[in-house]
Amino acid sequence: MRCPRNRVNPSLRQSVTYRRRRLTVTRTRATQVSIGERRKPHPAGRAGFLRVDSVHQGDLDGEKGLYEINLVDEVTQYEFVAAVEGISERFLVPALQGSIEAFPFVVRGFHADNGSEYINHRVAALLRKLHVEEFTKSRPRRCNDNALVESKNASVVRRYLGYDHIPRHHAALVNDFLRDVLAPYLNYHRPCHFPVEKTNAKGRIRKTYPFDKVTTPYLKLKSLDAADQHLRPGVTFEQLDQEALALDDLAAAGTVNEALVALFAEIRRRDATVA
């Protein structure tokens, strides 16, 4: 029995010969983004290699929450957090510039995950303007490439601002707290664990966190070789010492707690006034 004209026998379609001649497969092509170098940073014991990530305070009843932009130096764990209304270029670029310029040392590298809020031409242009030498981004299937700042998202941002929804119109108020109160405490008074790397018999690098390496980011900065050479022009350790010694650690922690209570009280007051 012949097949009708212009039709192919179904069994023929399954044959190896037919599929080899007629089947065309177009594979998905990976999108090539030339912005940023896909690798892990190598600071070699130098300050100024920043890790960046975003934290969202959630949405509620269709209202967007604000975002925190978290920047952490890999070697010293110096940290600055900024609050913005959104992660569009309009809000993000000024926040990044202000945070990068707040670090007391020269910023040499900037590392982000593959989010489009950071991997774009506006951010690349900002880094060139600020003379940041290296712009790197995380590698695929390497979840530890940006692990430092992601851990700080939990231990710092969530620790103080929590998971609750904070409306985006409070971004300026929250940013004042982060810049003027929390940042000095984090960098001058809050102790951090610093790793010691050891290579085992199999050649694998293992990190340990001995207690005698616990110190503040500022003291870690001062302990680096030729520490003065890391500082920005016009910044001296004498100036930084005055800010570091303005409060003791206990008083600084108390100041943060008092300011945090006042911050959320003001947020509730403003929301009640609007309602």
Is residue 6 over pLDDT 60? Answer: no
Is residue 8 over pLDDT 70? Answer: no
Mean pLDDT for the stretch of residues 73-87:
96
Model confidence band, residue 30 (pLDDT cutoffs 50, 70, 90): low
Model confidence band, residue 246 (pLDDT cutoffs 50, 70, 90): very high
User: What is the helix, strand, coil percentage profile of the chain, to 5?
Assistant: 45, 15, 40
Strand pairing category for 109-112 and 49-56: parallel
CA pseudo-torsion sign 267, 254, 184, 219: negative
Is residue 182 over pLDDT 90? Answer: yes
Mean pLDDT for the stretch of residues 81-106:
95
pTM: 0.84
Is residue 25 over pLDDT 80? Answer: no
Model confidence band, residue 32 (pLDDT cutoffs 50, 70, 90): low
Dihedral, 130, 131, 133, 137 alpha carbons, nearest 10: 20
Is residue 275 over pLDDT 80? Answer: no
26 burial type by CB count under 10 A (0-12 exposed, 13-18 middle, 19+ buried):
exposed
What is the per-residue pLDDT across 106-157, written as a single tens digit (0 to 9) for each? 999 999 998 889 999 999 999 999 999 999 999 887 777 889 999 999 999 9
Strand pairing category for 196-199 and 205-208: antiparallel
The average confidence (pLDDT) of the chain is 90
Is residue 5 over pLDDT 70? Answer: no
Mean pLDDT for the stretch of residues 171-175:
97
Mean pLDDT for the stretch of residues 159-167:
95
Domains and CATH numbers, the chain: 37-274 (3.30.420.10)
Is residue 9 over pLDDT 80? Answer: no
Q: For residue 202, how many C-alpha atoms fall within 13 Å in the half-sphere facing its CB? A: 3
For position 28, what pLDDT does the model report? 62
Q: How far apart are CA 58 and CA 139, in angstroms?
A: 27
Phi, psi of 214, deg, nearest 5:
-75, 125
Mean pLDDT for the stretch of residues 34-63:
91
Is residue 18 over pLDDT 80? Answer: no
Angle at 94 between CA 132 and CA 66, to 5 degrees: 120
For position 141, what pLDDT does the model report? 77
Strand pairing category for 49-56 and 67-73: antiparallel
